[in-house]
Amino acid sequence: MTSDDPRATPAYRDDRAHVFHSWSAQATLDPLVITGGEGAWIWDESGNRYLDFSSQLMNVNIGHQHPKLIAAIQEQAGRLATIAPSHATPARSEAARLIAELAPGDLDMVFFTNGGAEANENAIRLAKLHTGRHKVLAAYRSYHGATGGSIALTGDPRRWPNEPAMPGIVHFWGPYPYRSAFHATSEAEETDRALAHLADTIMVEGPQTIAAVILEPVVGTNGILVPPPGYLAGVRALCDQHGILLIADEVMAGFGRCGEWFSIDRWGVVPDLICFAKGVNSGYVPLGGVIISQTVADTFAQRVFPGGLTYSGHPLACASAVASIGIFKEEGLVERSRAMGDTVIGPVLDELKDRHPAVGDVRGLGMFWAIELVRDRETREPLVPFNAAGADAAPVAEVVGAAKKQGLLVFSHFNRIHVVPPLVTTEDDLRAGLAILDDALTLADAHVT
Ligand SMILES: Cc1ncc(COP(=O)(O)O)c(C=O)c1O
């Protein structure tokens, strides 16, 4: 639909005339007008229904329009819709306690933000002030948000147009067994070599200058990269050796997405700071935050923390987080995510890999999976080049478009299709969505050489 199409509705026309969208060339957009949703489904103005295999931006973990979450927001709105961060208020206190109870180790304090980028921004602020050092190491294959510091941390091409960025950020290569930067031929080798590379990076940057290493324990947008055994424990050990803080960016991987409350729990590693957002309340109201170890928090016992936000700990957001955590527990969503990954998504993706020559690799855990598409399984040449756009990206866009025609919305990035449905998606819907993908992937097979 275009804005002069007779089918264009007021919502569509006003959007095209007045809404300036994220990450887009504005004139090229043709958005769906979504008017409702329930569970894993959303629908448009004409009543066309779509199965949401991306949980929107990988955040609607409890699904759309959960009645208990809606009720909690309505109830809080009726009681106290807003209050400044300087006051204590029941919804905020309870949300902080519940989140601290979920976090590992002595991560007991929560600084609330409006989203993930602000969480990372404040995590590096905390780390720099706590250590008195100014550098932060971040992975090349990463996304950490679009504010000044967070986009500087980001390793992917979204950083480029924002450079020169915040000084003091140094990027390193994390593990990626399928495309090893270290020519590793096994997971054990990948772990050893990735850790040796990080140790060298720390050595040449000067450990006494480095405040923190930040990483996504399971890398999200940049590939659903599950770290090989021993990697995260090794990073923790390097940080301990040099007095460097470890920041886990759990914005996308946390809150059940990986079949754990926090993805890093899977490896039993305790970071110093955890950044969260997205799945904490499924985005029904904007919310993020940093969970802070007692040791770091103590730095600011008598010393002022020089950061703040008008909406830090907004009551509607916090009430929704309290309700969301209750829903996770009542419905066993963390366990469900793990089970669906192990028994449905993983096995079906393995079958797709057997059937489709364009599928080079499938990987993931919980309800967080990627299908990596190639032109040639032997050489692993990606189906589309790194950071492909326009005509170069067409082979992947065709797959996404074919899925959409059949009512399935999927997220793609570079040469990958991600399978990241709401944690409440029924097994039947999961299988139906994967069957649509199976069909759509034949288009990718046509490009195999
Ligand atoms: C790992 C990670 N960190 C941070 C962010 C930024 O979060 P937000 O868009 O809420 O600022 C994202 C968003 O996709 C993310 O995936």
pLDDT digits (tens, 9 = 90+) for 322-376: 999 999 999 999 999 999 999 999 999 999 999 999 999 999 999 999 999 999 9
Quickly state the pLDDT bin for 1 (edges 50, 70, 90): low
Cα-to-centroid distance, 57 and ligand 1 (Å): 9
Higher-pLDDT residue of 5 and 378 is: 378
Q: What is the pLDDT of residue 123?
A: 99
Q: Give per-residue pLDDT as tens, 146-173.
A: 999 999 999 999 999 999 999 999 999 9
pLDDT of residue 6: 56
Average pLDDT over residues 74-92: 98
What's this model's pTM, rounded to 2 decimal places? 0.98
Angle 375-193-414 (CA atoms, 0-180°, nearest 5)?
30
Helices (H) and strands (E) in the chain, counts: 14, 16
What per-residue confidence (pLDDT) applies to 7? 62
Distance from C-alpha of 271 to C-alpha of 120, rounded to nearest angstrom: 14
Q: Indicate the helix (H) or strand (E) that contains 151.
A: helix 148-153
**Whole-number pLDDT of residue 2:** 54
Ligand 1 atom with the shortest distance to the CA of 117: 11
**Which atom of ligand 1 has the smallest separation from the CA of 288?**
10
Arithmetic mean of pLDDT, 6-11:
81
Distance 254 CA to ligand 1 centre (A): 11
402 Cα–ligand 1 center, Å = 27
Closest ligand 1 atom, CA of 253? Answer: 1
State the average pLDDT over residues 410-428.
Answer: 98
Probe target for ligand 1 pocket from 144, 151, 368, with the most ligand atoms within 8 Å of CB: 144
Cβ < 6 Å from ligand 1: which residues?
Answer: 57, 115-117, 120, 143-145, 216, 220-221, 249, 251-252, 277, 288
Give the residue-averaged pLDDT of 38-65.
97
Task: Please tell me the predicted confidence (pLDDT) of residue 413.
Answer: 98
Q: How confident is the model at residue 8 (pLDDT cuts 50, 70, 90)?
A: confident
DSSP sequence for 381-415: EESS-TT--GGGGHHHHHHHHHHHHTTEE-EEETT
**What is the distance in A from the centroid of ligand 1 to the CA of 252?**
7
Separation between Cα atoms, residue 361 and residue 352, nearest integer Å: 10
> pLDDT > 70: what percent of the chain?
98
Strand arrangement of the beta sheet that strand 49-52 belongs to:
34-38, 41-44, 49-52, 408-409
Confidence check: pLDDT of 315 > 80 = yes
Q: Which of 337, 251, 291 minimizes the C-alpha distance to 63?
A: 337
The closest residue, in CA terms, to atom 7 on ligand 1 is: 116
Strand intervals (E) in 173-238: 210-215
Strand intervals (E) in 149-224: 169-172, 210-215
Helix axes 315-331, 90-102, angle to 10 degrees: 40
In the β-sheet with 169-172, what is the strand arrangement from edge to edge? 107-113, 288-293, 273-276, 245-249, 210-215, 135-139, 169-172
Dist. CA 166 → ligand 1 center (Å): 18
Is the peptide bond prior to 164 cis by the omega test (within 30 degrees of 0)?
Answer: yes
CB 145 within 8 A of CB 278: no
Instruction: Find the mean pLDDT for residues 279-293.
Output: 98
**Ligand 1 centroid to 448 CA: how many Å?**
33
**pLDDT at residue number 250:** 99
* Distance (Å) from CA 138 to ligand 1 centroid: 14
Token representation of residue 106 = 């002595």
